[in-house]
Amino acid sequence: MAGTMPHAIFVETDIDGHGQVGAYAAELPGCAIFAATDEEATAAMPSRVSRFTAWLRASGEPQPDFVGDNWYEVERAVATDGRRAVFTLDELPPSDTEFATWMRWMELAREELADALDAGDPSSAADLLDAIERQDVTFVRDLGGGAPELRPDPVDRLYAARDALTDALAAAGPYQDGVRRMLRLAIADDLRAAEALRPSA
């Protein structure tokens, strides 16, 4: 039955102000491909989903089974003024179970990033790490939390920002506006940074 079941992709354009494109699997928050063109990103989605679900399985997480590999774009939005795009699905609050699951995925993604930082050179992905830190602080403020204390070391700032986001999300719960989007982006960006830091990436 390969190719018979359609699966939705959201496409975000101009993520970095230089034309970078992100494609997100709607059914797997945090499963994303970042590329120079939307064609490249969407074409890589089936293999990305396979790697993402294998990562979840290896981490002891249940993951959905997908029938077929027919991934297609259903919505497109542009990142503007340093703010990442919002998609229609982002406006739906996750269920309590989904929220708990995606919070675990976010922690797993942060562990991947921490391992990559330990093994690699943080300066090789400095811009991406800075963007994650700024985004996390923005999300914390959006959730009504206090901004983390800024620290001199950029890696320490990154960890402080994510700890603050984790606490703010836990306090806000699944029904706070924007939670689905925040988790989608936090997971995707941590995994993207981890891959950028690895020599094989």
pLDDT tens for each residue of 92-114: 999 999 999 999 999 999 999 99
Residue limits of CATH 3.30.160.250 in the chain: 6-78
Instruction: Please compute the mean of the pLDDT values over residues 40-54 and round it to a whole number.
Output: 93
Contacts of 59 (CB under 8 A, 6+ apart): 108
Highest mean pLDDT: which range of 122-136, 142-156, 171-185: 171-185
Residue predicted with more confidence, 138 or 124: 138
pLDDT at site 104: 97
Residue 44 CA to residue 172 CA, distance in Å, equals 34
pLDDT band for position 65 (cuts 50, 70, 90)? confident
Does 24 score more than 60 pLDDT?
yes
Distance CA 134, CA 147 (A): 10
pTM for the structure as a whole: 0.93
Q: How far apart are CA 2 and CA 13, in angstroms?
A: 29
4: confidence class by pLDDT, cuts 50, 70, 90: low
Domain 6-78 in CATH 3.40.50.150? The answer is: no
Question: What is the band of 3 on the pLDDT scale with cuts at 50, 70, 90?
Answer: very low
Q: How far apart are the C-alpha atoms of 128 and 134, rounded to whole Å? A: 10
